[in-house]
Structure 1
Amino acid sequence: MSPCITMNNKKNTLIALTGLFISAALLSSCGPDKKQQEEQAQTVAQVDAVETPTVVPVPVVKGKLSSTIAVPGELLPYQQVDLYAKVNSYVKKLMVDIGSQVHQGQLLATLEAPEINSQLAGAQSRIQQQQAIYFASKATYDRLVNTSKTPGTVSQNDLEQAEAKKNADFANVEAAKSAYKEVGASVAYLEIRAPFDGVVTARNVNLGAYVGPGGKGTDPLFVLQDQNRLRLVVSVPESYTGGLTNKDEVTFTVQALGTQKFTAKIQRLAGALDEKLRAERLEMDVYNKDKKLLPHMYADVNVPLPSRDSTIILPKTAVVTSTEKVFVIKLVDHKAQWVDVKKGIEANGQVEVSGNLKPGDQVVKQASDEIRDGSPVKY
């Protein structure tokens, strides 16, 4: 073998080994390191999670869901009346003041109107005047009747005219008596009496004040309230009115009495919605014998909502409320299917829904609009 050939072979081998080391170094510097591999794996996992998310299914079941709704209420007097003067007069005497407990028919104030006494005397005089005229015409008629018993002495026409005059005068007497009663009724109006048992909560007059019939902007003489029984008034929103009955009982608190709870039974339902509030008015009777509660106090009221049979109950997290719709995500063959629903009452983390669902269906427990309609899912 020639020495030149041997030297050439060694030279070629050295060059090949040098190239191999250089290529390995280049490949080592260009290939991904461990951190890059982890980031790539995480990215792949995130893409996979978005494209095929893993969800927790929950079965659709039917049942009952009872709850309460907290609404503001107001305590009103069971009865309240503003007392005005019926006739123009002056305050002569006051028997009560603010805070006075009064009974039905009790005299609260007396008024004075001298012209009414004059009118009463005039009406009495007119009665006497009409009675005198009537007695005269009756006497004339009676004489004509007696005279007519002798044939030819009195004509039938004169007799009928006398009878008509007597009847007309009698009618005038009755009219005068009615006028007297009318003036007498005005005298009764000079006494202001309580129409029911209650408390005087306002007095707007003093002795000698000129008073008259109430009108717009006119303050009443007295304001009388029945505080032994109060009306608790609330307005329940339209979506919660279905099934409310007067057999239900509410609980309420008032700020002045802290956490002390009161109960009251629903007595009256409006049966219609207020056009402005879109709510139904409910009234409860509250007996207030110890007078702890005051009229026009505000109350925080818990109204029981009716439970419905055969209602689909789902976790609140399973219902998605977006700007466009309310829906749940139904699981069909490992694919997501959006189903439009309507929500009912909510309680204890659950909610009533109605829609194209039936018992046995599976829905996503933690639903969101990121799980697109028709996308594959894992569970």
Structure 2
Amino acid sequence: MPPTEQRPPVSRRRLGIFGVVAGIALVLVVITGIRAREDSSTKLKEWTDNQAVPTVAVALPDAKVVNPTIDLPGRLEAYYRAPIFARVSGYLKSWSADIGARVKAGQVIAEIEAPDLDQQLLQARADLASQEASAKLSEATLTRRKTLIASNFVSMQEIDERSADLSNKKAAVNSGQANVERLEALAGYKKITVPFDGVVTARDTDVGALINAGGGSGPAMFVVSDISKLRVYVNVPQNYVPSIKIGAKAVITMPEYPSRTFAATVEASSQSVDISSGTTRMQLALDNSKGELMPGGYANVRLTLQSDTVPLHIPASALIFNQNGLRVATVGADDKILFKPVTIARDLGREIEIASGLAADDRIIVAPPDGIADGDKVRVAGAGAKSKPEKVSEKQDVKG
């Protein structure tokens, strides 16, 4: 048999090199796996953090005037109105003007029968005649006495007494004459006359009615109103008063004329605030030369507001009201939340007019999500992320 071939023995050195290489490979595999898991964890954490940052839509406050008017209820009143009371007591003898009658200044519309006054006037005239006769007799006596001074039949003392008596009699005549004139003037008030051109808007008397002199014992006999021009009274909330100037124009609408409007002008302001309502009363003048409008009627008054500054408007959805008050969430240059307290000037429905608290370049969150707080990081979506966001009036209102 041939001799058996024997393989040369593997050197221990080669075995050692092989083991080192295998160990290095194993370590590399382990390190690669660990790094892959760490990278995966880091990416997952970054993705989770990114998902936790809320995405918001922002807009700049709109500085365009949306509606420079305000609608308020008003009340029409006659420009001149005179309740007519009697100056003398008696019974109504007659009247000639009923409600709705157009009357002229000085026109007699009623007459009062006053027998007591007539008798007082007769007595006063009789007293005056008696006083005049006494004064005439006293004057004649004094004249005769003066002719006897030269013959020493009368003394200067008697002359002085007669002169004083004549002065008293003349004073009594003047007093009686004044009393007669006073009663004659009162007798003239038995005829009720109209103070100015107008319309009889009320009559609260009739023939035979007992008339009491003065204005504190009952309603007026007649009320005469000049309705060719009307006053419109409106109560303006205090915060709008500075925006309504004297001379400003207003538009009046009436329920009886739903398709028509009437022009009015602001004439006066009470310059005070009613503490019970927080409003200031303003007076407007309204031409009514055609007599179409009636005093006492209700009117809707649309006033033009004038402001030295252009107000800012934001969507109603941007407001946040909680225990911290009324605020708006804005996004700063570092994309972090900053709450700003605001005050409202007017609620226009879908839009709010801001009185204070915001600047024109503030980026407001149109619909702030729940749970956000000051300093929170947000992601700005849309055009506002990298450039100037649109104004509220240039885009649709965003909800939710």
Q: Same fold (TM over 0.5)?
A: yes
Deviations 1:23-75 (A, max 9, x none): xxxxxxxxxxxxxxxxxx9xx98x977x5322223345767676111111111
Shift of 1:112: 0.7
Q: 2:363: which partner in 1?
A: 362
Deviations 1:146-179 (A, max 9, x none): 444x386544433332222111111110100111
Do the aligned partners of residues 243 and 80 (structure 1) sit closer, same or farther apart at CA in structure 2, a change above 3 Å counting? same
Shift of 1:213: 2.7
Stretch deviating more after TM superposition (214-223 or 202-211) = 214-223
- Where 1:241 maps in the other structure, the secondary structure is helix
The 5-angstrom pairing of residues 232-251 of structure 1 reads: 232-251=232-251
Q: Distance in 1 between matches of 2:141 and 2:173?
A: 17
Structure exhibiting the larger radius of gyration computed from Cα positions: 2
What percentage of residue pairs aligned between the two structures are identical?
27
Q: Distance in 1 between matches of 2:156 and 2:375?
A: 112
Structure 2 residue identity aligned to 1:262: F
Q: Is the 8 A contact 2:85 2:215 kept in 1?
A: no
Q: 2:285: which partner in 1?
A: 285
Q: 1:203: which partner in 2?
A: 203
Determine whether 1:303 maps to 2:315: no
Q: Is the 8 A contact 2:86 2:215 kept in 1?
A: no
Q: 1:334: which partner in 2?
A: 335
Q: Distance in 1 between matches of 2:369 and 2:190?
A: 75
Q: 2:31: which partner in 1?
A: none
TM-score (norm 2): 0.75
Stretch deviating more after TM superposition (156-165 or 209-218) = 209-218
Structure 2 residue identity aligned to 1:112: E
Stretch deviating more after TM superposition (312-321 or 267-276) = 312-321
Do the aligned partners of residues 253 and 80 (structure 1) sit closer, same or farther apart at CA in structure 2, a change above 3 Å counting? same
Shift of 1:142: 2.8
Deviations 1:63-109 (A, max 9, x none): 76761111111111112222222222112122111221101110001
Q: 2:41: which partner in 1?
A: none
Do the aligned partners of residues 61 and 84 (structure 1) sit closer, same or farther apart at CA in structure 2, a change above 3 Å counting? closer
Deviations 1:280-300 (A, max 9, x none): 111111111222211211111
Stretch deviating more after TM superposition (346-355 or 263-272) = 346-355
Q: 1:74: which partner in 2?
A: 75
Shift of 1:243: 3.4
TM-score (norm 1): 0.79
Do the aligned partners of residues 365 and 106 (structure 1) sit closer, same or farther apart at CA in structure 2, a change above 3 Å counting? same
Structure 2 residue identity aligned to 1:371: I
The 5-angstrom pairing of residues 159-174 of structure 1 reads: 159-174=159-174
Q: 1:3: which partner in 2?
A: none
Structure 2 residue identity aligned to 1:224: V
Q: 1:185: which partner in 2?
A: 185
Do the aligned partners of residues 168 and 335 (structure 1) sit closer, same or farther apart at CA in structure 2, a change above 3 Å counting? same
Q: Which runs of 5+ in 2 are unaligned?
A: 1-43, 381-400
Q: Distance in 2 between matches of 1:238 and 1:93?
A: 51
The 5-angstrom pairing of residues 1-379 of structure 1 reads: 52-59=53-60, 67-148=68-149, 150=150, 154-213=154-213, 218-309=218-309, 312-322=312-322, 324-332=324-332, 333-345=334-346, 349=351, 351-355=353-357, 357-367=358-368, 370-379=371-380
Q: Distance in 2 between matches of 1:75 and 1:326?
A: 39
Do the aligned partners of residues 367 and 160 (structure 1) sit closer, same or farther apart at CA in structure 2, a change above 3 Å counting? farther
Deviations 1:288-329 (A, max 9, x none): 122221121111111112223265554444443446522222
Q: 1:30: which partner in 2?
A: none
Q: Which runs of 5+ in 1 are unaligned?
A: 1-40
- Where 1:266 maps in the other structure, the secondary structure is strand
- Where 1:258 maps in the other structure, the secondary structure is strand
Q: Is the 8 A contact 1:67 1:346 kept in 2?
A: no
Q: Distance in 2 between matches of 1:338 and 1:77?
A: 53
Q: Distance in 1 between matches of 2:89 and 2:355?
A: 65
Shift of 1:235: 0.5
- Where 2:266 maps in the other structure, the secondary structure is strand
Shift of 1:123: 0.7
Q: Distance in 1 between matches of 2:137 and 2:217?
A: 54
Shift of 1:376: 2.1
Structure 2 residue identity aligned to 1:168: N
Structure 1 residue identity aligned to 2:267: Q
Q: 2:389: which partner in 1?
A: none
